Amino acid sequence: MSNLEHWANRLYPKSNFVDVLKRLEVLGHKRPVMTHIKKIRLGMIEELNQDSNLVLSDTETPAQPQQPTSDDIFNDLLASQPSQHITPVVKEITEAQRERMLRNRQIAEEKRLARLAMEAEQKKRELENAKTLENIEFQNALMESEGIDRQNILAQRDADME
């Protein structure tokens, strides 16, 4: 993360880190940037050698020894600093939050059990209805095979019920 902060400071020295990230996010959604990044990923663009203009021919000699650039100085400073790992802060759950979590868990469990019971009851009713329908169909088939008039039997059953 410190490298990212370092380069953000190098890109926009007068802006703070959060503002730089917001700016980069906005710029990253621009079509030319997205196209260029896609070309780089697909290998369609060769990486430019930034030191290509600094390469001297065999006949030329440097006029003076090369001074370390500011990039090198900053990189040396970053490398020399011990990395400080920030441990994440763990929030303690309050007793009220814990009680609310337990209560919500119990309510959810009760709802789940009620739903399962309702589904079981519905399946039981469907099974009973299927058995009743099966029994009626069986009786109808039996009566038809024996030649008994079904309407007479139904009328007799209705009279018995009254």
Q: What does the chain look like in DSSP terms, one character per residue?
A: -HHHHHHHHHH-TTS-HHHHHHHHHHHHTSHHHHHHHHHHHHT-SPPP-TTGGGPPPSS---SSPPPPPHHHHHHHHHHHSPP-PPPPPPPPPPHHHHHHHHHHHHHHHHHHHHHHHHHHHHHHHHHHHHHHHHHHHHHHHHHHHHT--HHHHHHHHHHHH-
What is the model's pLDDT at position 63?
56
Residue 75 belongs to a domain: no
Residue 106 belongs to a domain: yes
pLDDT at 36 over 90: no
Q: How many CB atoms lie within 10 A of CB 8?
A: 19
What is the model's pLDDT at position 91?
80
Least confidently predicted of 67-71, 77-81, 83-87 = 67-71
Residue 41 belongs to a domain: yes
Residue 57 belongs to a domain: no
Residue 14 belongs to a domain: yes
Q: What is the spatial distance between Cα 77 and Cα 138, in angstroms, rounded to a whole number?
A: 93
Q: Say if CB 8 and CB 21 are below 8 A apart.
A: yes
Q: Is the pTM of this model over 0.85?
A: no
Specify the amino acid at residue 48.
L
Mean pLDDT of all residues in 6-19: 88
User: What is the pLDDT confidence band of residue 141, given thresholds at 50, 70 and 90?
Assistant: confident
pLDDT at 34 over 70: yes
Residue 53 belongs to a domain: no
What is the model's pLDDT at position 59?
53
Q: Say if CB 114 and CB 121 are below 8 A apart.
A: no
Containing domain of residue 20, as a range? 1-45
Number of domains in the chain: 2
Residue 111 belongs to a domain: yes
Q: How far is CA 160 from the centre of its chain?
A: 66
What is the model's pLDDT at position 101?
95
Residue 150 belongs to a domain: yes
